[in-house]
Structure formats: structure tokens, C-alpha cells
Amino acid sequence: MSLGEAVKTIITDGPDGTDTGIFANIQQYFKDFLITMKGKGYAYDIFEKNLFFLKALGLIFIIILAIVNYSLYKDPGLIKKEPWSFFTESLIFAVSGLLPFLLVCYLRNTIYSFEQLVKMSIVVFIVFFILNYLLELSGFYSWTFKKSPPKSDDEKACEKVVDEEMSYSDKMSKSFGRTTEIMMIALVAGSFFALVFSTFFVMNTTPIYTRTGGMPTLVVFLFEMILFGLISAGPIFLMSRDRDDLSVKTTAEFFIIFGKFIFLHCLLQISGFYHHAFNSQSP
């Protein structure tokens, strides 16, 4: 048997010549995977697990940052400087997280009682209220609203000298930190890819509404989507004002956040998340 025939036997034909080689097995695996994903239930399961994974990872990361930042620098930011202003900001931030939830519930809910919705609304409000405090303690807002001026050539040269004079252990620590960052980014990116990838197998493009006011479903969806984005992005103006950072740039940031939440709303619809959350049957 020639080398070419041997390779063909291993990769395509298999030892018994019935398409059981490596390539054929890989091809069959992807065919089975696509059939399973097209069942939608499995695809939605992947979406749901990755969505909650990303949420949990983000929350844990913010909590760790808040603990480390406060322990090292003892700087609570606006919480200490303007406690009542920040308290008001946190209330509005919580309301901006609660209102989209109530909007979607009002238009789509078919399975939850009024009492259950009240309890869930209280939980959502408290979570967003606490989240705003954690974001401030973590230094996220300081990083977001106060951009550092560009470094001069002298500052860059000084940093280069410091890097060159670092000890081996310091260099290893810095390298480990960068490696950890890359691994975290890769983990999040992989999870987000799985989330978006699974969405296109579900492709639930028909919203189910309990209240439409006689309007076509598409019009109701567009109305819901725009309100979802506007309410979620609105607090950026108050946050910028509280930190003396209100400018034309704030309007640009508003539209960026608005676009992100519109994308999120569409993703939750197409993935079947809304269908599973507010209807008793599976898509």
C-alpha cells in the first residue's frame, strides 16, 4: 500500500472502507451536532447557560474589584463625597433596570401572578441598587468618567526604563497578570460566541404579546425595543453630571449604550429567552 493510499484509508475510508475514517467521523459529528441544535431546545439551553455564566462572572469580578479597591485605596468615591447625590443616582439606576423588566412583563407575561411579579420586581430593584454601589466602589465609574490625559514622551520613556529595571520576580508577576487577563478575555469571548452562535439556531422571530393595543406585532416590538434602550441608557446623563463630566461626549455615550441595549433586546428575543421566561411551553 502506498503512502497516499494509507493516508486515504486513515482519514476518509477507515480500515473497512466504509467511510469511517477520521474525516468521515468529524463530518458525522458536525451533522449530528447541527441536527441536535436545530431541535432548538438544546440551542436555547446553551444560550441560557452562557448568559447566566457571563452575568455571574461579571458580578463576581465587580465584587472582587470593589473589595480590592476599597482595601488598598480606601476610596469610596462619590459615596463619601456626595452620599445623598449618589443615593439618588442609585435609586434612578435601579428604576432604570426595573422599568424595562416591568415593560416586558406587561407586554408578554402569561405565567406569573401579580404577587410573583411584585416579588421579582423588588429583587430586580435591590440588585440594581446594590450594583451601582459596587460599580462605584470598584473604581469602574472613576475609570469610565475621568479619562487620563495622553502620556508625554518623557512619561513613556520613564515607564520603559522602569520596565527594563524590574526584577525577574516582578517581571514574572506582570507576565502572569497579563496572561490571566488574556485567559479571562478568551473565556468571556468564547462564552459570548457560544451565546450568539446558539441564538441563530433558535431564531425565534415571532414575539408573543398578551397586550398589543390592536397594533401589529412588529410595531409593538419596535416600541418595546426603543423604550428598552432609552430607559436603560438614560441614567448616563445623571451620572456624568454628578461627576462633572457632562459634555457632548455624554450624548455619544448615550447612543452607544442605547445601541447595546437594543442589541441585547433583540438577542433575548431571537434566542427564545423571552419565550421561555414568559410562556409555559417550549419553542
Question: Is residue 190 in some structural domain?
Answer: yes
Stretch 174-198: mean pLDDT: 61
**pLDDT at 7 > cutoff 50:** no
Q: What is the pLDDT of residues 42-91, one digit of tens each?
A: 556 766 776 777 777 778 888 888 888 777 777 777 888 888 989 999 99
Could you give the CA distance from residue 179 to residue 158 in angstroms, rounded to a whole number? 24
| CB hemisphere CA count around 200 (13 angstroms) | 6
Q: Is residue 111 part of a domain?
A: yes
Residue 209 buriedness (CB in 10 A; 0-12 / 13-18 / 19+) = middle
Question: Structural domain tally of the chain?
Answer: 1
Rg of the chain over Cα atoms, rounded to whole angstroms, equals 25
Residue 53: inside a domain: yes
In a domain? residue 13: no
Which of 204, 189, 235, 217 is closest to 95 using CA atoms? 235
pLDDT band at 269 (very low <50, low <70, confident <90, very high): confident
The C-alpha angle 208, 213, 215, rounded to 5 degrees, equals 75
* Continuous segment of H or E residues that includes residue 278: helix 273-278
Distance CA 269, CA 78 (A): 37
Average pLDDT over residues 129-156: 73
Half-sphere exposure of 36 (CA within 13 A, CB side): 11
pLDDT the model gives residue 137: 86
How many Cα atoms are found within 13 Å in the side-chain-facing hemisphere of 54? 17
Amino acid at 15: P
Q: Would you say residue 191 lies in a domain? A: yes
Domain that holds residue 102: 38-278
C-alpha cell at 134: 459596587
Task: Give the ranges where 12-113 is alpha helix by DSSP (H).
Answer: 22-37, 41-73, 78-81, 83-108
| Residue 40: all three cell numbers together | 432548538
Above 70 in pLDDT, residue 16? no
User: Does any domain span residue 140?
Assistant: yes
Q: Does the predicted TM-score (pTM) go above 0.85?
A: no
Residue 5 lies in a domain: no
Q: What is the mean pLDDT of the chain?
A: 74
82 belongs to a structural domain: yes
